[in-house]
Amino acid sequence: MKLCSVPSLLTAMVAVAFTAGPSAGQSLFDARGLGYTLEPIDARSRGLGGVALGLPEPQISWVNPADAVGLLEPGLVIGYQYDNFDSNALVGGTSEGSTARFPLLMAAFPAGSRWVLMAGYGGFLDQNWRLEQPDSLVLAPDTVGITDITSSDGGVARLRFGVAYQILPTLGVGLGVDAYTGDVEHVERRRFEFQDSTAATCCRAAWDYDGLGFTAGIRYVPVEALSIGASLSYGGTLDAEAIPRDTMVLSSAEGESTSFDLPTSFRAGAAGRIGQATVVVLGGSWTGWSTLDEPLLQAGGARDAWTVGGGIEYEGLAIASRPLPLRLGARTGALPFRWNVADAQGWAQERALTVGSGLVLAGGAVRTDVAFEFGNRDGANSGLDESFWRFDLSVRVLGR
């Protein structure tokens, strides 16, 4: 058994993915570059087209630490997410898969009248996927059917420690420090048609990830009906070190490492109240993933990614005297990692329509939100069309 290097592993992933059959995970795009990028936001933001900055009230937010300015009680928010997708590859036919995760766990603690302290956990890079490639071998005088299976388990998450400060009644700032953590294991196996279970592993690659990143944000409320938010993230360096998974791994591979300079990201959003019961939001983001184009060249390279989204929230409905907001939104964006490595224009876009609602309980101490997304990922020359739907559930609890 051998422990592969990151560059050779990425090359193998590309070759297998182009002839993929059944799969599992969030998306076949998980098998590109460093994985599928996750945005740890709550279900309210998801239902508003993914806009998480500039919302009207103080928020326990991952994407902008300044949003916590104005919180009067300690609070906790937790998010659950379920993904389901169907893919149609130019080479390899169709596949489908699903996954579930908890991408967001965040707590905030007011410290005096101006300060808020924060700590939490958020998803970052998802590398959970499984690809199956049917084939055959000639074992004279017979031809035997086989299935080559390549799987990946794990990903990279972030541990956040942050602080927010109210400069003026209308202006707040925040700072967060992220500790990247996680591990990923890639395994290649072969199953013969006469076997009931998977045959021996042919190669295995296991990596442990760590690093540091930083996020700074601002929240400005010039008038009661308008709020604006922006944040800037410096990715820092993501270090990957080879780790043995069992005694069969060559000891000489232990300690092999590589590093990736993660990109800078900018996000902004705004919300405006129209009348007493309607809020309109608009936001976007840009991330400079093209700085990793050369390090990830064997896996197709990388480009700058962007997203634009918007939504509307109507608060005029109620059930048993409890407000029942309705949310509609849409978003579009460019995925950072090229799927079709044989075409210089083999990039993909992601588009989605969103819908959501929520319920406030216990006099406002508990808020539960749900959201659904229906979308697709494709491109004119991407070589892969993928439709998906996603369910988000989040719960926010305040210590009243």
Largest CA distance in the chain: 82
Residue with tokens 């967001």: 104
pLDDT for residue 148 is more than 70: yes
**How far is Cα of residue 101 from the mean position of the Cα atoms in its chain?**
10
Once rounded to an integer, what is the mean pLDDT over residues 146-164? 89
pLDDT digits (tens, 9 = 90+) for 177-235: 999 999 988 888 877 777 666 565 677 788 899 999 999 999 999 999 999 999 999 98
pLDDT for residue 95 is more than 50: yes
For the chain, what are the domain ranges? 6-398
**What Cα–Cα distance (Å) separates residue 148 from each residue in 18, 97, 220?**
13, 17, 54
**pLDDT score, position 364:** 83
Rg (CA), the chain: 23
Confidence grade of residue 25 (pLDDT, cut at 50, 70, 90): low
pLDDT digits (tens, 9 = 90+) for 122-131: 999 988 877 7
The DSSP line for 250-297 is -GGGTT-EEEEEPPEEEEEEEEEEETTTEEEEEEEEEE-GGGGTTTTG
What's this model's pTM, rounded to 2 decimal places? 0.84
Once rounded to an integer, what is the mean pLDDT over residues 243-250? 53
Q: Which fold has domain 6-398?
A: Porin (2.40.160)
> What share of the chain in percent tops pLDDT 90?
54
Nearest to 336 by CA among 375, 377, 290: 290
Once rounded to an integer, what is the mean pLDDT over residues 137-163? 85
Helix (H, G, I), strand (E, B) or coil at 240: strand
Q: Is 209 exposed, middle or buried (0-12, 13-18, 19+ CB in 10 A)?
A: buried
**How far is Cα of residue 145 from the mean position of the Cα atoms in its chain?**
37
**What Cα–Cα distance (Å) separates residue 344 from each residue in 28, 351, 383?**
19, 21, 12
DSSP state at residue 29:
G
pLDDT for residue 19 is more than 60: no
Out of 16-25, 36-45, 123-132, the most confident range is: 36-45
